[in-house]
Amino acid sequence: MVRLGQLRSIASLTLQLAILVVLIAAFFVRTPQVSGPSMEPHIMSGEYVLINTLAYRFATPERNDIVAFRHDGEVPEIFIKRVIGLPGDRITIDDGTVAVNGTPLREPYVRYPDGRSFPEVTVPPDSVYVLGDNRANSEDSRFFGPVPDRDLMGRALFGIWPANAIGAL
C-alpha cells in the first residue's frame, strides 16, 4: 500500500521533472513554422519543426545537416535549408549540377531540380553554403551567399506538426 507521504514525494518529483523539461525546451529548443516550398517535399510549408539550438555551440555544421538561420533580407526571417558547403569548399553549379571541390554531389533529396548555372563560390571561414531541396523554388546561398555561423540558430531535428509530418528530418 502506498502511503500519503510517498504520493506527495512522487508528485513533487514529477512536478520538478516537468518544470525542468519546460525550462530546457524554452532555452534550448525552437519550433518555427516553415513558410514556403523551398524544402519540399521533405518539409512542407506550414509544418512545424524542432530545432536544437545547442547543436552548433559545441560542434560545427556538417554537410547535409538541415539548419535554421536568421536571414536579414528585405523582411528578416528564419530560413531552413540544407548545408551543402563547409568552410574552404569550392561550390560550382553548372546546369543544375552541384559540385563540391570538383566532385558532383549525389542528391537524392532533390525532387524539383533547377537547371540554371551560378558563379563558383569558395565558402569563407566560419560560414556554410546552404541550398533548399526544392531547387526550382528556393531563396538560398545561390542568391544571398554563404551564411555566417553566427546566424545559425541550430539544427532541424524533427517534424512535429501536423501529425502526418511527425518524424526525423
Which are the contacts of 47, defined by CB distance < 8 A and separation ≥ 6?
33, 34, 159, 161, 162, 165
Q: Which long-range contacts (CB under 8 A, 24 or more apart) does 144-151 make?
A: 144/71, 144/73, 145/121, 146/85, 146/121, 147/67, 147/69, 147/71, 149/56, 149/60, 149/61, 150/126, 151/69, 151/70, 151/71
Residues assigned a catalytic role = 38, 81
Q: Which amino acid is at 117?
A: S
Residue 125 near residue 85, CB atoms below 8 Å: no
